[in-house]
Structure formats: structure tokens, C-alpha cells
Amino acid sequence: MIELTDERATHELARRLVAALPAGSVVLLRGPLGAGKTTLARYVALELGFEGRVTSPTYTLMHTYPTPAGPVLHVDVYRLPDPKQIYDLGLDEAAATARLTLIEWGEPKDFPGALEVELQPVSENVRRVTLRARDPRLQEAARRVTEEMRTRG
């Protein structure tokens, strides 16, 4: 478990996730309304060099942010009756060639190859974050990032 005491800590988490996650990784951003899913996505895109607008793709389903390291895909499955429908839209192929794919509101059962980032609001600026993965490579990345965040100065 990681405690983010303010948005700067969330930015720091984004920086460390970018460093730890291999190209083509899929990240599930979970947590209630206002937890900070889009905020974390914005910092991830920023860390990869995208400085444009990052908003929840609630109605558009997917936003693509170009970065020097490759596209960042930002998906929101909130409005899909069946989140697996996103695969019918070609997500697997797109994710494989993207630098990172960030999915808001995805369930781990629908995205078993993803890193799950669960954001729990504690107070106005404080969030608790748990990183989980089934894939051994992502499990190792999750362990490393959690350790780094816990021991940062």
C-alpha cells in the first residue's frame, strides 16, 4: 500500500510507473468518482511528454495521446454494458503497439494481463493506492514501484 499525501505524490507515482512499465503494458485505474484516475492518467501522459488536455474519455471511449515513446491510449469503459466489448473495437492490437494503455473503470477479471492501480480517497488530498498484477513481470514492477514510493525521501 502506498499513501499519496498530495497531488505531487501522485505525479511521483506516475513517474515511477512510467519508468517501471514495459511498452505495451495495460494499466487499470480503479476507484470511485473523483479518486484521481484521470489525474494519474494526466501525469503519466505528461511524464511521457504529452502536454495536451487529458480528460475522462467517458463518452468517446478512447483518447490517444501521442508521445515520443509511442501513443498513450486512455480508455473509459464506464458506459460499456460489457467492458469486454472494448476488445471488439481492436483494443488488444492497439495496446500492443502503444507505449501504455490506461483504462478507467476496468475490472481485473476482464483485463487479466493488466496492472491494477486501485485509488482510495482518504481525505481531500490524500489517496491510498494498491498495485496488483497477475502477470509476473508486472507483479515485479508493482512490487518495485510500491517499495520506491514507500521509501522515497
Interface with ligand ATP by CB under 6 A: which residues? 4, 6-7, 9-10, 31, 33-39, 56, 104, 125, 127
β-bridge mates for residue 129, sequence order = 2, 119
Q: Which among ligand ATP, Mg ion, none contacts residue 33 (Cβ within 5 to 8 A by kind)?
A: ligand ATP
Q: Which of 24, 56, 130, 137 binds Mg ion (CB under 5 A)?
A: 56
Closest approach, Cβ 105 to Mg ion, in A, equals 8
How far apart (Å, rounded) are the C-alpha atoms in residues 107 and 111? Answer: 7
9: helix, strand or coil: helix
Closest approach, Cβ 18 to Mg ion, in A, equals 19
Q: Which residues contact 26 (CB under 8 A, 6 or more apart)?
A: 95, 100, 101, 103, 111, 113, 114, 115
Angle, CA of 149, 18 and 86, to the nearest 5°: 115
Contact status: 63 vs Mg ion (CB under 5 A):
no
Q: Which of 11, 30, 37, 99 binds Mg ion (CB under 5 A)?
A: 37
Contacting positions for Mg ion (CB under 5 A): 37-38, 56
